[in-house]
Amino acid sequence: MQAASGEDSGTKKRSYTERKTVGQKPTPNATIRSQNGSFGNLMPFGESDGLQLISSLVIDKISVFDSTRLCIQNKPKALGYVQETPGRSQNICCVAAPLRSSDRRKLKQRIADTFGLSPEDAQLLVPEGLKSVKFENHQGKPGVAYLSHDGDPLWFTLGKGSDDLIPTGKSRAKDALYSLWKKYDLLPTLTTPQAVMPRIQDGADLMIPGVVSWPSPLSPNQLVSISKYVGDKGKRAPPFAVGRVEEGVDEKKLGEEGAKGKAVGVLHAWKDGLWSVGHGGEMPPDVEVVDGQGGEGGEKASEANPPPASATHSPESPTQATHDPTNTEPNPTEPACTLTPDEITQSLRTALLLSLTSPPPPGAFPMPASTFYTSHVLPYRPAHLASSPTPVDVKHSSLKSLSAFLKSCEKAGLVTLKNQKGDIVVTSVNSRHEEVLGVGKYKTVKDVEEWERKKREREAEAERGRAEKEVEVREYYKPFGQTLAWFAAAGQQPGTLFLLPDLRALLNAYIASHNLVNPHEQQFVNVSADPLLLAAVTGPLPGKPKGQAEVVEFLKREEIMKRLVERMQAWYEIRVDGREGEVKKGALPPITLTLKSRQNKRKTVTIVTGLEPFAAVVGSPEEVAEGVRRSGFGASVSAIPNKPNTYEILVQGKQQKVVMDLLLAKGVPKRWIEVVNLTK
């Protein structure tokens, strides 16, 4: 390599001498630096002339650098490389050593539990001959990388004591390794427009405005993949980046209109340093979403072995667009796997560790061993093992009994046991145990059962909410009182009825044409500069006595809209199945369901009023009462005194849900149903 030098803000120049031999020793005790705070080029060294191209270890965002070459030394059990990068970088030397068989098995089990993999898939991801190497990134954070026997990095962790395993984005061995391009649902996926991809490849993070769809649940610090948004709901794109969700970001934040800030801190992306120095390869084409496979399709037909069906819907599928937690749905098409007794024991132990991250309250102890087992071990078993032909329970474990299992956990310091009249009880748990603190999150049986319960509730809600008619309520606003002069100045007729969007557009056009935006604080409008607008938003409210004149200099647009609407006359129209209805004066009152106590609070009734405006939707009060009776509840109709042609329905008992479901089924929008509880 030719001599190079670089300079950056706050960093002294550093020059590099030319390396002419592969076997030259690297500079020891070096740190990692690069132009954008990430890994750069890896220089070969060792006692062999045989060079092999592999992916570099990349922990932070990476810009595209030159190729990196790695030499596998002739000496057994050692893999080494030295890094050299232009700019503010230094050299680094790393040596990788094979993992012990026991450590590899533990790692494989942890990956299987964390990512919901079958033993066969875990074997592909954590193959024989795995090596590990320690490193330190540009921020001084230590990490561990796990490499295949021929040097391809498969997983890495970052941070002292971190157990979060981050997968790399590709697989060199087409039919031998399993990675994000072979199993798209290995990580939850966010999608972004294709135009954003080059920016992420150049080192940028994914910002909130660039997120099109996201999985649910989504939580801060969660490891995710990023893929291109595909407008065709029958297809999905392969992931092109891996990152971590930023603090304070979740589904609610991503769904907020106008939200800004960083959504995902990118750790590794397609065509970055990690990618370009390896075996390369172009991104696979978008794949078809196959019906009946949970929203995930296999790869193109040119693939010899397409990936198995996913348990997660495509980011472009309807369920994902509404953010249903489909990534917890069990996959019935996944092949069954037979577990050994040792693997079952390890799975039960891992389940206990995860359970202890949210331990029972101290008052729950002492707890019978059987209760502890059924409530705090079995629900936390990995969800992907539910289809195993071998039951994952203590009877099929290597310990054979619950008492033996709990005693092994007591010996490890996880629980405390006591013998009471011949029965074992759990007296306490150790939620601060190092194994508990280090356990990784994964999809559990409890998660799947909870998702299925919520799915049933959603389906039932959707069934109840399936309206007989399509109903649209339109709210209009008519110029009135002191607003008339302003509307005339804006070129509008006094009898015009405005919808809110039309009124907002008129106001914005008026503000722009009269140059009323405050030059110093542009979110404010100088209403005092326009006497007609000022009078329209500060005049007395309809039906209220005049008070002292309000002094206003400037207001925000939304406040102007609010004041303007308050001083206009309300009208409404109810349209059924797209047909125009009668436009009526006044604000539309909601249908009210009032709960009242009778007979000294020994009896409760539900009183329904306000049905008359919705007669075209629900029918007469007697028809509504008959619908309640068909549900098995008593209901009677009576006229309301001193209010001609108005009626109320009296339903026996607290039946607000029954009545609401009936009204929703007939097409009444939920917004126009109000529940008032007078029994409290």
Domain regions of the chain by residue span: 187-280+313-327, 341-447, 472-575, 589-677
User: What pLDDT, on a 0 to 100 scale, did the predictor assign at position 284?
Assistant: 78
pLDDT (tens digit, 9 = 90+) per residue, 517-564? 988 888 899 999 999 999 999 988 876 666 666 778 889 999 999 999
**What CATH fold (topology level) applies to the domain 187-280+313-327?**
2.30.130
What are the backbone angles phi and psi of residue 83, rounded to the nearest 5°? -100, 140
Omega within 30 of 0 (cis) for the link into 217: yes
pLDDT (tens digit, 9 = 90+) per residue, 6-60? 333 333 333 322 333 333 333 333 333 333 333 332 222 222 222 222 233 333 3
User: What pLDDT, on a 0 to 100 scale, did the predictor assign at position 221?
Assistant: 86
Burial of 75: CB neighbours in 10 Å, binned 0-12, 13-18, 19+: exposed
Q: Three-class SS of residue 143? A: strand
Its sign, for the CA torsion 100, 105, 106, 112, is positive
- Tokens 């990956």 map to which residue? 111
Q: Which long-range contacts (CB under 8 A, 24 or more apart) does 165-169 make?
A: 165/110, 165/111, 165/114, 165/440, 166/223, 166/242, 166/267, 166/268, 167/125, 167/242, 168/55, 168/242, 168/268, 168/274, 169/225, 169/239, 169/240, 169/241, 169/242, 169/268, 169/269, 169/270, 169/274, 169/275
CA dist 482 and 422 (Å) reads 86
Residues 188, 151 contacting (CB under 8 angstroms): no
Token pair for 469? 């008619």
CA dist 398 and 378 (Å) reads 16
CA dist 624 and 604 (Å) reads 20
Nearest Cα neighbor of 662 from 629, 613, 616, 640 is 629
Token pair for 437? 């603190």
Q: Which residues of 232-270 are buried (b: 16+ CB within 10 A; e: fewer)?
A: eeeebbbbbbbbbbbeebeeebbeeeeeeebbbebbbbb
Angle at 114 between CA 109 and CA 119, to 5 degrees: 40
Calculate the alpha carbon distances from 250 to 255, 324, 390, 548 in Å.
Answer: 9, 14, 37, 47
Residues 361, 423 contacting (CB under 8 angstroms): no
Residues 450, 330 contacting (CB under 8 angstroms): no
The correct CATH number of 472-575 out of 1.10.245.10, 1.10.10.10, 1.10.3470.10, 3.10.450.50 is 1.10.245.10
User: What pLDDT, on a 0 to 100 scale, did the predictor assign at position 315?
Assistant: 32
Q: CB-based contacts of 281: which residues, under 8 Å, 6+ apart?
A: 170
The CATH architecture assigned to 589-677 reads: 2-Layer Sandwich (3.30)
Q: Which residues of 485-518 are buried (b: 16+ CB within 10 A; e: fewer)?
A: bbbeebebeeeebbeeeebbebbeebbeebebbb
Residues 89, 83 contacting (CB under 8 angstroms): yes
CA dist 273 and 547 (Å) reads 70
SS3 string, 442-505, reads: CCEHHHHHHHHHHHHHHHHHHHHCCCCCCEEEEEEEECCHHHHHHHHHCCCCCCCCECHHHHHH
What is the biggest distance separating any 2 CA atoms in the chain, rounded to whole angstroms? 104
Its sign, for the CA torsion 203, 206, 207, 209, is positive
E runs forming strands in 72-141: 79-83, 92-98, 131-136
CA dist 128 and 99 (Å) reads 9
pLDDT < 70 stretches in the chain: 1-96, 135-140, 150-153, 161-163, 168-183, 231-234, 257-258, 272-281, 289-337, 460-469, 543-549
Omega within 30 of 0 (cis) for the link into 366: yes
Beta-bridge mates of residue 444: 382
With DSSP H G I counted as helix, E B as strand and the rest as coil, what are the percentages for the chain, rounded to 5? Answer: 30, 25, 50
- Tokens 């950056």 map to which residue? 8
Q: Three-class SS of residue 635? A: strand
Residues 279, 171 contacting (CB under 8 angstroms): no
Query: 367-368 and 423-429: which strand pairing?
Result: antiparallel
User: What pLDDT, on a 0 to 100 scale, did the predictor assign at position 466?
Assistant: 55
Half-sphere exposure of 635 (CA within 13 A, CB side): 25
Spacing of C-alpha 361 from chain mean position = 29
CA dist 281 and 55 (Å) reads 12
The CATH architecture assigned to 341-447 reads: Orthogonal Bundle (1.10)
User: What pLDDT, on a 0 to 100 scale, did the predictor assign at position 232?
Assistant: 63
pTM to 2 decimal places:
0.37
Token pair for 457? 């509730």
Token pair for 547? 């008070």
CA dist 432 and 557 (Å) reads 53
User: What pLDDT, on a 0 to 100 scale, did the predictor assign at position 564?
Assistant: 95
